Amino acid sequence: MINSYTYNHTDKSWTNNEGLVDIQNLLYARYGGIHDSYDEDIFLQKDVCDIFYELTFNDTIVGFAAYDIIDDKHYILTAFYVKSDELLSSIFISHLKTHYRQGHILSILEPTRKIIELLIKCDFAVKLNKSLVISAINFQLNNSSLKSTDNSNIKQDKNVYFTNLYDLDMCMLISLNIYNRNNYSCKYTLLQDADKIHYESINARKQLNNSYFDNIVSYIIDNDEIIEKRLFFLRNNIHNTLNDKDMTNALIRITQSLDELIEKHQITHDKYSRIQEQLINELDDNEIYQESIDLRIEYLTSHIDEETTKENNGINICPYCREELDPTEIYCTTCGYVYIEVGDVDSDKLDDMIYFNVFMEKMSYKYSLYNKKEKKGEFDEEYLINLAVYAVLNSLKIDEFSEQLYDLIKYEYDIENFNLKEYIEKNEYVSYTLDKQSWKKIAYTYKVQELKEILKTFKQKTSGRKSELIDRIADNIPLGYIKTCNPNLTSKGIKYLEDNVDLITYSTYLEDYIYDEYIQYSIENPGEYIQQPIDFLDEHIDYAIYTKNHYHLTHTLAIQARLYSEKEDYERTLQLTLQRFIIDLNMIYIKEEFIPYNIPIQQSTAHNIYSLNQLLGHQNFKNTFNQIYKTFKEDNLRLTYDETYEIISQLLINTNLNRLNTIIINTYYMDKKVQGPPTPKDDNTRKTTLDDFF
């Protein structure tokens, strides 16, 4: 059987021309020394493999690795063994480097704890807490050694499961499907023989019960964004282990790919040269990685003629192609560009970077009552078109038409490619004929001679003053026959304005909330123009308190204060402004790890406090402050009454806000430092899930 095997001298690998490699047979026939010496430290999940590698040190064979090949890029490591513990780490990392340089995607089939510890040592995995580990390299679960919390028959399950999560204490992989805290399923691996020998996992596994899995799920839900960012940096770190100067394999792949495009007549020789030059420069500057070369070539084939500049347009937006990024990937999945480089970041600052990114990610989502994820500033085209239509019709209502109106409004609402004029005319919101009301609006723009010509056409008297001519036309001529270049509102257009008051209310006050949720609320709870959004925000305040979401709560209080100001209810405006001030100042509901990124007093709050004190008088202001302060529980407050009122006094004399914020931070918050992911707490308030994360 060995006679059918082929040996590749370049990468020191064996394949079987007639099928799979029999690992034990090959070891015994060709590597007797290794076969006789390896012990339980090896992890070997399968008896056969697609490709078998020799592992060498100083031209001496010291071990082997076996892989299953999913496709020409995805390799599954099924066995790894090195005779010497001293060489294990260096051989392991060197072997992985080889595959990554070739652009392979690697996974590992049910590793032992020893392999997990190697991954941690190589910075390919990191501990999330005392026992949980997250890995940049995926783990494939072996269905034959799986158990499930829902008692499903996994052995007959043909699905292939992958995960990034491992429990060191239990020596097991964990694959989760989370819907919410009380609705999830978990698949986990049985204890391997090697782990039984070296670790005390048998005793730990006695703790495997519903409470254990509930705690795991709660921990992941509470820290999902931090885990996601750590996974991102781990994946990026894989590339920092590679030799940046070794571009030989990359250049070969670029040439081969471009040659294929030339042969298929998909690019010209000029494009070939320009794409090749750009890719070489980007490789040299670490702006693309081996894995993203094919994607980058595909993108540049269509876009190489476009003039582009790399700009940071906001969180989770690729600075090269402006498309939304996958926060768990290390390069843009649209254009292949590496949008963040953390290789030179001091390890002491890495946590700060992770937490800052998580903080910014939290700030980028609209506020929802049902945990919908929708980015601020992002709206579908239908919403933008409706706003643009409203803006056009409202301008006509107040006589603000100009030839540029359609183009200006299309630009304002970012719908330049939409034919707004045609849409409005097709829906009969405007007309170019006149009735008495529209005639009165535009009649005085006509010259006297033009008025006489209209009267003459309909055989009416043409003498008299201009006002008499206008009235005569209105009373005696069918105005529908008079054409105008300017559009006029029809009854349908007027009804559109009346029916879309909620749209404008949302656009004016509530664009940081989910549009569909507000429209549904307004349908179920009809109300007055200002009072209805106030009532809607009452629900958000209750939900923000329930979920202990500081940013949701303070933003909602600020919007409500603005709405009450519109109603000229300045006493209620002051109450809400002071509530927001006290919550911000004491950083209520802010987790300790996010404190460094918060400002105690916002500029808008300081301005409102100063203005409302002037408007209502200081005695009334102070009485309201005392009333609001008493509504807070003492254990939620970091500052005393006297300290808080002293800061209020500083704001009322219009002090330098930046300086005041610096003093507050230095006095009350400088001892708060980021110490890694928080420990799990028994908190059933958050609704965020990691549905498909693992």
pLDDT tens-place string over residues 102-130: 878 899 999 999 889 988 888 889 898 88
Mean local confidence (pLDDT), 668-679:
55
Mean local confidence (pLDDT), 319-329: 72
Phi, psi of 164 (to 5 degrees): -120, 5
CA–CA separation, 386 and 391 (whole Å): 9
In this prediction, residue 1 has a pLDDT band, given cuts at 50, 70 and 90, of low
The reply to whether the predicted model has a pTM over 0.75 is no
Render 375-431 in DSSP notation, one character per residue.
BTT---HHHHHHHHHHHHHHHHHTT---TTHHHHHHHHTT-TTS-HHHHHHHTTSEE
Place of tokens 């009267």: 455
Better-predicted residue by pLDDT, 453 or 617: 617
Rounded Cα distance between 259 and 551, Å, is 53
CA–CA distances in Å: residue 679 to residues 170, 361, 469, 674, 693? 18, 21, 84, 12, 20
Strand partners, 77: 67, 108
Q: Tens of pLDDT along 360-410? A: 778 889 999 998 888 888 899 999 999 999 999 999 887 767 778 999 999
Q: Inform me whether the pLDDT recorded for 131 exceeds 80.
A: yes
* Amino acid, res. 636: N
Separation CA 444–CA 450 (nearest Å): 11
- Residue 498 contacts residue 481 (beta carbons within 8 Å): no
- Across the chain, what does the average pLDDT equal? 83
Specify the pairing of strand 172-180 against strand 183-189: antiparallel
> Residue 443: is its pLDDT beyond 50?
yes
pLDDT, average across residues 230-239: 75
Per-residue model confidence as pLDDT tens digits over 335-369: 888 766 555 555 556 677 777 777 877 888 999 99
Contact present, 48 and 21 (Cβ < 8 Å) = yes
> Which pLDDT value is given to residue 675?
44
pLDDT recorded at residue 194: 82
The pLDDT of residue 435 is 66
Beta strands in 60-200 (DSSP E): 60-69, 74-82, 105-109, 125-127, 132-140, 146-148, 162-167, 172-180, 183-189
Q: Residue 485: pLDDT band by 50, 70, 90 thresholds?
A: low
Distance CA 486, CA 289 (A): 57
Q: How confident is the model at residue 680 (pLDDT cuts 50, 70, 90)?
A: very low
Instruction: Say which residues have a Cβ less than 8 Å from residue 444's Cβ, sequence separation at least 6.
Output: 466, 470
Q: Which two tokens stand for residue 163?
A: 């995960």
pLDDT value, residue 309: 60
Tell me the two tokens of residue 339: 């949008």
Q: What is the pLDDT of residue 240?
A: 59
